[in-house]
Chain A
Amino acid sequence: MSSATQQPTAADQKPTGGGESVAVPHKSLLSALSFQNISAVYLFGLVVLVFAIWIPDNFLQTDTIAAVLNQNAVPGIVALALVVPLAAGVFDLSVGYTLGAVSVWVAWLLGNTSFSPTICIALGLLMALAIGIANGFIVVVMRVDSFIGTLASGSLLVALTLIISGNTQLTDGITEDFTAVASTKISDFTLPVVYMLVIAVVMWYFLEHRAIGRQTQASGLAPEAARLAGIRVDAIKFGSLIVSALLAGIGGILLTATVGGGSPSVGPQYLIPAFAAAFLGATQLKGGLFNAWGTVLAVILLGTVYNGLTLAGVAVWVPYVVQGVVLIAALALAGVKRRSSGGDAESSDELAEAKPA
C-alpha cells in the first residue's frame, strides 16, 4: 500500500497493489449512435431527404456533395480555428479579420515582391503567428476579457488590411504556381477540403488523444480546478489563441489562392458561420465539449442546407434564417441537456452548509 503513494507516476500506480488489470466497463455503442449524441447526422439525413423530394433534379447530382465541401472548406477551417480557443475557455473574435489580413498580405507579397509562392505563404503564416501572439498577450498577459480583447485586435487588423491593400483589390502576380495550392483537384474535391480534413484529424488527435487536449478542455470548463490541479491554464489559453490565428491564416492564404486575389473587404463575414459551426459542433459527439469532428459535421450540415436552398432558388434571406434557427435550436437542446444532468444542486448546497464562505 505504501508503495502506491511512493510511485512516481499515476500510470504505474495500481492502488489495489501489483500490476493486475482492473475490469473497466465499456462505453456503450448504442449511446454513441443516439440522437442526443449525433443529432446533426440525423438532421443531415432529414435535410437530404427534404431536398431530394423538393428539388430532385438539381439536388440529387453526384457533384452536390463535392460542391458543398469545396465551398465550405475555408469556412470549415475557420470554424476549426475557433474550436481550440473555445475549448480552452477564450473567445477569438478576430479570426475573420485575421483571415482577411493574411489574405491581402500574401496577395500583396505576391504582387509586390519577387519572393517565391512558398516564401510568401511562409510569411503569411508568420503574420498569423504574430497576430496570435498579440492576442495571447492582450488576453492572457494584460488580462483583457477575451471577448472584448479580440474584438479590439480585430479592429486593428481591419486597419492593417486597409493599409496593406490600399483599399483596392490585389490581383497582380497571383500565378498558377500559387493558386495550385487551392485549385488542384483530387477527383471532385479541391485541396482545401483535404487540408480541412487533415486539420480536423490533427485537432481530434491532440484534443482527444493527448494530455494537452484534456488539459485544454479542463482549462475551459473549470479554470480554477484546472489551475489547482497544476495545469498551466494561462499557457494553454495563450497557445490556443496562437493556434486559432494560424488556422485562420491558413484560411486566408487558401482564400487568396481560391479567388486569385486579395480583397480588403473579406474576412468579417466568416466569423458568424464559424461560430455557428463550432457551437453546433459542440453539441455533437462529445456531449457539450468543443470538438473537431462535430464541427466538421456541423459545417457539412449547414453547408448542405445553404447549398440546397440556393439550388431551390429561395429568396436570399432564407438561408440566414435557417442558419440562425438551426443554431438556436441546437444550443437550446444542449442547454436543456446540461441542466438536466446538473445533479441535485439544492441538496448538495444544503449539505455543504458546514463550509465557511
Chain B
Amino acid sequence: MNAAQNPEPLLRIENLSKTFVGQKALDGVSLAIAPGEVHALLGQNGCGKSTLIKVLTGYHNPDPGVRFWLDGKEAHLGHGKLIAEDGESIEIRAVHQDLGLVDRLNAVDNIGLVIGYSSATAGNIGWRAQAQRTRELLAKVGAGGLDIWRPLDQCDKLHRTQVAIARVLAKWETERGLVILDEPTASLQAQQVDRLFDVIREIRSRGISVLYVSHRLAEIFEIGDSLTVLREGKLIDSKPVAETDHDGLITMMLGSTEALVGDAPDPVAAGNGRSPAERPVRLSVSNLSSNELDDLSFEIHEGEILGFAGVVGSGQEELPYLMVGSHRAQSGIVRIGAEEHDLTKMSPRKAKRLGLGFVPADRANQALIMELAVADNMSLATIGDFDKGQWLRKREEASFAVSWGNRLELSPNDPYKAVGLFSGGNQQKVVLGRALSVGRTALILAEPTAGVDIGAKALIYNYLRKEAAAGTVMIVCSSDVTDLIEVCTRVIALRNGRIAAELTGDNINEDAMLRSILAPPKERV
C-alpha cells in the first residue's frame, strides 16, 4: 500500500496534548492518516492510546495548542466529526473494545437503535423492511449471512464485532472518514481474525480510513498500511509498516528498557545465599484447569515473587481469581505447607482463612467501598479480629489503619476519610494494606498498579520488594510488563492457558516477555 505516501493526508493532527490532574496522558503528539488506509496505533498499556481515541471521538477535550487539518484545510473536532473551515466534514467513529452493544437484543435492534425503525401501517415497526436494511448494512461489512434475529449474548465474539462495526458505519453521513477499532481481535480465534480482516479490507476499499489498535504485532504486518507508536504519551515514530519489522516494532514500543526505580530483588540474597530452587516450597498449585487455564502447575519457593504474564484470554487474568475461589476452577489443588486444598471448593472466605491476601484487578468494583472510610476499607477482611468482647474496638481499628497507612505512605493518612476521595495510587495502598494484613501465607495480586500514577507505582514496587525480602511470597498477575520486571524473581508467560516460557534473572525483560506472550504469526489463536 502506498497510501501512506499520499501527499495530502485525510486527517492530520499536530501538537496534541491532554493533561489529567497534572499528569500528561498525551504530550505533543502528531498523527497523519491517509484516505483509505489501515493505520495501526501501537504502544504499551498506559501509553496514551485510549486518550488519543477519546480525544478523536470527542469524549475528551484536548489541551489548547493542538491543530487539525482535513485534506490540508484547517479543521476542528466536533460531535464525532472533523469539520474543515469550508464546512466539509468527515465522520470519526470508534468501535470500543467492549463493543458497546446491548447484548440481550439482536442485530436488528442493535442497529435499529442507531438508524431508527422504519414504520409500517399505523406506526408499527415494519420489521420486514427493518430486517432488509439490517442485512444490507451487514452485507456492507461482509457479514450479510448472519442470523440477525439471534440475541447477541448467544452469538460469538466475531458476530458481535461485525454488528458493532456495521452499526458504526450505519449512519455514515460522509463519504470518507475514520473508523477506530480498539483491540477488535481480543479473544477472537485465528479463523475469526481472518474474517474480521476481510471486514476491515471491505471498509478500506470504500475509501474509509481505519485506525487499528492491537497488541498482536503479527496482525499489524498482515493488515496495516502504516503505523504510529506512542510511549508514555509521546510520539515515538510514524512510518509505513513495510519499513519496519517485528523486532523493530518491539524496540519502538519499549524504548530502552531502563528500570523504573531500583532493581528487582536479588533472589539469592533474599534467600540467605541459597537460590530459590534450593529453598523450601511455600505454596504450590497443580493441575489447575478452568475456562482459560489448561492443566497449569507451578511452585513458589520461599522468598520468591512469581509473576504471570499473558494477553487477554491467556489465563493470566483468571488465575488470581481461581486462586482465591472467586471463579470456580474445573480442577486443581493448592498445597500450602503440608496441607492440600481443592481449588474447585475454594472460596474467598476460605482463601482469607488460609492467609491468602488478595488484590483484585478492579479496584473500584471489587476491592473498595468508596463511601466508607479508609479504616473501614482497610479492615474489611479482618473486621472480626477487632470484634472481641462486647464492642467493636474502633480505636484499635483506626490505629491499625493508621499504622498501615504510615507504612505504605498513604497521604493524607486519615483513617476517617472516605476512600473515594483519595487518588488512585492512594486507594491502591489501602487495598494493599488490607491484602497484607490477611496475607500471612501469600499475596495474590492482580494488576497491582492499574490506574496509579508513576510515583505511587514506584512506591508500591518498593514496598512489594521489601515485603518479599521479609519473607512474604507473592503471585503477581499483570498485563503491565513493568510490574513483572520491577518486582518478580521469576515470570511465567502464559499463552492459551499453558506455560509458554519461564523467565528468570536477566531474562525478565520486556522483549523476552512480549515474545513469549504474543503468539508467533503462524499459530495466532
Contact = CB atoms under 8 A, between A and B. Distances in A.
Interface of A: 1-2, 5-16, 21-25, 27, 208-215, 217-218, 221-222, 224-232, 287-289, 338, 341-344, 346-348, 350-357
A354 B367 contact: no
Contact of B440 (A5, A27, A357): A5
Contact of A229 (B97, B385, B434): B434
Contacts, number: 200
Given A209-B391, A214-B376, A6 B440 contact: yes
Contact of A10 (B46, B379, B423, B452): B379
Contacts of B391: 209-210
Given A214-B392, A355-B362, A350 B51 contact: yes
Contacts of A213: 392
Interface string B369-405: 1111000100111111111100111111111101110
B394 to A, nearest CB: 8
A255 to B, nearest CB: 33
Nearest to B396: A11
A355 B451 contact: yes
Nearest to A17: B403
Given A11-B386, A11-B388, A354-B450, A221 B424 contact: no
24 contacts: A2-B472, A7-B440, A9-B385, A10-B386, A10-B400, A11-B385, A24-B399, A24-B402, A24-B415, A209-B391, A210-B387, A211-B384, A228-B367, A230-B381, A341-B420, A343-B370, A344-B21, A347-B20, A347-B21, A350-B54, A352-B450, A354-B450, A355-B479, A357-B98
A80 to B, nearest CB: 20
B234 interface: no
B327 to A, nearest CB: 11
B387 A211 contact: yes
B23 to A, nearest CB: 7
A5 B434 CA distance: 11
B450 A229 contact: no
B76 to A, nearest CB: 22
Residue among A10, A222, A350 with most chain B CB within 10 A: A10
B403 A22 contact: yes
Contacts of B450: 352, 354-355
Interface in B305-359: 312, 317, 324, 326, 348-349, 351-353, 358
B286 interface: no
Contact of B365 (A12, A217, A222): A222
Contact of B398 (A8, A24, A229, A338): A24
A221 B388 contact: no
B50 A225 contact: no
Residue among B362, B368, B384, B415 with most chain A CB within 10 A: B384
A167 to B, nearest CB: 43
Given A2-B471, A352-B424, A228 B451 contact: no
Given A229-B352, A351-B23, 15 more contacts: A10-B381, A10-B400, A16-B406, A16-B407, A25-B414, A222-B365, A230-B349, A338-B371, A342-B370, A350-B20, A352-B450, A353-B45, A353-B50, A355-B447, A355-B479
A25 B361 contact: no
Nearest to B21: A347
B20 to A, nearest CB: 4
B371 A288 contact: yes
A5 B470 contact: yes
B383 A211 contact: yes
B326 A227 contact: yes
A221 B23 contact: no
Nearest to A288: B371
B218 to A, nearest CB: 19
A355 B434 CA distance: 21
Contacts of B370: 222, 342-343
Nearest to B365: A224
Contacts of A16: 403, 406-407
A218 B366 contact: no
Nearest to B453: A351
B421 interface: yes
A222 B369 contact: yes
A21 B436 CA distance: 20
Interface in B422-479: 422-424, 434, 436-440, 447, 450-453, 466-467, 470-472, 479
A266 to B, nearest CB: 37
A353 B52 CA distance: 11
Nearest to B402: A22
A353 B20 contact: no
B420 A343 contact: yes
Contacts of A353: 45-46, 49-51, 451
A346 B97 CA distance: 18
Nearest to A205: B391
A354 B353 CA distance: 31
B383 A343 contact: no
Contacts of B361: 355
Nearest to A212: B387
A44 B220 CA distance: 68
Contacts of B312: 356-357
Contact of A27 (B365, B397, B402, B416): B416
Contacts of A354: 45-46, 447, 450-451, 479-480
Residue among A5, A12, A289, A357 with most chain B CB within 10 A: A5
B35 to A, nearest CB: 29
A346 B436 CA distance: 29
B380 to A, nearest CB: 4
A123 to B, nearest CB: 33
A74 to B, nearest CB: 30
Contacts of B366: 224-225, 228
A226 B420 CA distance: 16
Given A5-B472, A9-B382, A10-B437, A222 B368 contact: yes
A353 B376 CA distance: 27
B319 to A, nearest CB: 14
A50 B212 CA distance: 67
B421 A343 contact: yes
B37 to A, nearest CB: 25
B383 A341 contact: no
B500 interface: no
Contact of B479 (A22, A351, A356): A356
B418 interface: yes
Nearest to A232: B349
